[in-house]
Structure 1
Amino acid sequence: MTHTVISLNQKLKYSEIQYRRLFETAQDGILILDGKTGVINDVNPFLIKMLGYSHKELIGKQLWEIGLFRDIEASRDAFDELKRDKYIRYEDLPLKTKDGLRKDVEFVSNSYLVNNVDVIQCNIRDISKRKQAENAQLQSEGKFHSLVEQSSDGIIIINNKGQIIEWNRGQEKITGLTKDQVTGNMLWDVQYKLTPEKNDNKNLLSEFKKNIKSYLFPKNKTRSKEHY
């Protein structure tokens, strides 16, 4: 019996060491809160570095006390929701560092019991760089779309199936067909429609389709082997 108790204690101690090691080395921020009051009981090094607060400045404080969340009332409402539902998730939540800088984070929090005590664990992932990249891409796409629309040259953009997804004003003037009329249609069908004196030549349509597909899906040319 004594041996069994010692073995269980050893397993428990090992489990606690493993958890602490994961907590200390995690590359996401982790907050441990009192499940009833929302007071911060523990915080890992990654989150301390991310937010610029010291360990001492965070321990014993509530989230809304340190101004971590920009909207204090929303923070309290979220805490009440978490206590009720035991789980809450925000895919894009703005946090504020000690220096007042904005951090965009993914915030996942759940509630559970530890020795019959309510505990809340908050996992906080910094997505600021991803957001910046997404915004830069949107701006780039906006500039590209503006250039396409303003060009006096006819510009057509198709997807990898051959469907028309962009048909600019220059192309509208050249062909007399509006963007709404052609978007979603296959390029070869529109090209065939615009061909004068086609006389319903289906071979011509097949040729258009073949040429466009060969451009979209070029065959890999392999060098033939020579045998000696």
Structure 2
Amino acid sequence: MSMHRLLQRQFKRARISHGALPANLEPFVNLIEDAYRQFDEEKEVLERALEISSAELVHRNEVMRAVFMALPDVFLWVTRDGLIKDCRGGLQALFGVEPLSLLKRNLREIPDIAEPQAFSLAMRMLAETSFFQAEYSIHSADRIRHYEARFANLDDDLILVLIRDISDRAQAEEALLGMQQRLDHIIEFLPDATLVVDNEHRVIAWNRAMELMTGVPKEEILGKSGYEYGT
């Protein structure tokens, strides 16, 4: 087996011939030779591990990028001053905006995406807490869209903002509220004394006829259970 190149270099620098060494130094030279070769083997293993890790990291980044692009939500990484450092997710689908067009812009200055007051409040609240959630609406020429924004502290100067379109939920809640109000009006003006209780036996409706019959105004009975109103 030929001598390791690094050991050869050391002999050359010292101007010593390997054959001129005393016999009692040969075991010592062999130990140095083994150390150099072991170093080469460990270096090769480390380089291979780094190569595999780099490939895995690239693959994971590609997977995460695909996940972000598939999600309908918008992910923004912003500084506490509102400067957008990175963005992922459904910006194009949600707001009709290309992600690259938002980089290095201030979130507070993009009213088509962020309601300035809601985001200013969130930034102030994040000085005291690690998470904050807000809902806001954006008015366009022909519609109103409702959004939910979640803010999370990542470090001293970076905040993750997740924006989700909740228009369908908000419209469903408004429709349900309108239906409930119409039902309340119908119950209120029924000629018969009528009360309504929920699954926990709490009074949720007490009409005028019921007030006249019992002498108990609705303000005193709404929200009370059957044990409290004596039924």
Q: TM-score range by the shorter chain?
A: 0.5 to 0.7
For residue 174 of structure 2, the aligned residue among 135, 138, 141 is: 135
Question: More relative contact order in 1 or in 2 (CA 8 Å, sep 6+)?
Answer: 1
For residue 68 of structure 2, the aligned residue among 20, 23, 34 is: 23
Q: RMSD of aligned C-alpha atoms?
A: 3.4
Which residue in 1 is equivalent to 2:24? none
Which residue in 1 is equivalent to 2:130? 87
2:92 is the alignment partner of 1:48: yes
TM-score, normalization by structure 1: 0.63
Looking at structure 2, the residues matched to 110 and 119 of structure 1 have their Cα atoms a distance apart, in angstroms, of 9
For residue 32 of structure 1, the aligned residue among 72, 77, 92 is: 77
TM-score, normalization by structure 2: 0.62
2:150 is the alignment partner of 1:150: no
2:59 is the alignment partner of 1:14: yes
Superposed CA deviations along residues 101-123 of structure 1, whole A, max 9, x for unmatched, are 5432221122436xxx9643211
1:70–1:96 Cα contact (<8 Å) kept: no
What is the SS of the residue equivalent to 1:137?
A: helix
Superposed CA deviations along residues 81-106 of structure 1, whole A, max 9, x for unmatched, are 54x45834224233466x69543222
**How is 1:110-125 mapped onto 2 (pairs within 5 angstroms)?**
110-112=152-154, 119-125=158-164
For residue 178 of structure 1, the aligned residue among 198, 206, 216 is: 216
- Mind listing any 5+ residue stretches in structure 2 that lack a counterpart? 1-45
User: Which structure dedicates a bigger proportion of its chain to helix?
Assistant: 2
Looking at structure 2, the residues matched to 182 and 41 of structure 1 have their Cα atoms a distance apart, in angstroms, of 55
Shift in CA distance, 100/119, structure 1 to aligned 2, threshold 3 Å: farther
Superposed CA deviations along residues 132-177 of structure 1, whole A, max 9, x for unmatched, are 111221222112112211222222223335554433222333x344
- Mind listing any 5+ residue stretches in structure 1 that lack a counterpart? 192-228
Shift in CA distance, 159/88, structure 1 to aligned 2, threshold 3 Å: closer
1:51–1:96 Cα contact (<8 Å) kept: no
2:136–2:147 Cα contact (<8 Å) kept: yes
Between Structure 1 and Structure 2, how many residues are aligned? 182
Moved over 6 A (4+): none
**Offset at 1:25?**
0.9
For residue 108 of structure 1, the aligned residue among 150, 170, 176 is: 150
2:224 is the alignment partner of 1:159: no
What is the SS of the residue equivalent to 1:130?
A: helix
Q: Taking every aligned residue pair, what percent have the same amino acid on both sides? A: 21
Larger CA deviation: 37-46 vs 6-15: 37-46
Shift in CA distance, 105/3, structure 1 to aligned 2, threshold 3 Å: same
Superposed CA deviations along residues 5-55 of structure 1, whole A, max 9, x for unmatched, are 11221222222122211111112111233x365332333351222122233
